[in-house]
Structure 1
Amino acid sequence: MSNTKLRQTARGEDCTLRLYPHCNSNPETVVLCHLPSNSGLARKSPDWWGVYGCNCCHDVIDGRCKTEISIAEIERSKLRALYETQTRMRDKGLIR
């Protein structure tokens, strides 16, 4: 599956990050949010290393939004979101 197709699977999904109070819970704003990896500066991680996130949660994990949420809680949310996103992708037959 091409990377573009994998990214497009986020459209209409529920946000898996759910960072309260930032999450807008609007599936129309959900995109594939790439998580950091060892890919290097200014290079995105592979699409399978991403989570379904609304635009507001995406802003939080990318540092575009100030938040009172601790770094530890954000990291826990990213790990949980990765599990949920990959489970959804696997159930759809998108990854193995």
Structure 2
Amino acid sequence: MRVTSKKLRASANGQDCAVRMPGICNFDPATTVLAHLPCGQKGMGMKGFDTVAVYACSACHDVIDGRAAGEVDWPDMLRAIAETHEALIRAGVLTVKGAA
């Protein structure tokens, strides 16, 4: 089962970048997208699940996808995923059954 959602992707519009790569991030919410992270479901012409993605500005997204030079701090991506999921839950875009 592949998880895709127009609402998840659209929710990134105007959000702050959750990645914030030092020396790379442009901190411009106007360029923020839902950037998919490599998770075994990603490849040439394929995106990973929309749930394995982070809010990323265009500059950070380019590094994540390998279009620009830079080092991705992969352990720090866990923080970025958590921040993105928290924002999605607060906005009511992502829900968890049984959560209090």
Which category describes the TM-score, using the shorter chain as reference length?
Answer: 0.7 to 0.9
Identity of aligned residues (%): 40
Report if aligned partners of 2:35, 2:53 keep a CA contact under 8 Å in 1.
Answer: yes
- Which runs of 5 or more residues in structure 2 are unaligned? none
**Cα distance, 1:79 vs. partner?**
1.4
**Cα distance, 1:34 vs. partner?**
0.4
**Cα distance, 1:80 vs. partner?**
1.0
Structure 1 segments (4+ residues) deviating >4 Å: none
The counterpart of 1:63, out of the listed 63, 66, 73, is 66
Distance 1:64 1:27 in 2: 20
Q: Which amino acid aligns with 1:37?
A: C
**How far does the alpha carbon of each residue in 1:24-72 deviate from its partner, in whole angstroms, 9 at most, with x for none?**
00000000000111225332111111100000000111111112x3x5x
Matched residue count: 91
Whether 1:33 and 2:32 are equivalent positions in the alignment is no
Distance 2:75 2:21 in 1: 10
Tell me the residue number matched to 1:8: 10
Q: What is the TM-score normalised by the length of structure 1?
A: 0.86
**Alpha carbon RMSD of aligned pairs, Å?**
1.5
Q: Secondary structure at the match of 2:51?
A: helix
Structure with the larger helix share: 1
The counterpart of 1:52, out of the listed 44, 55, 63, is 55
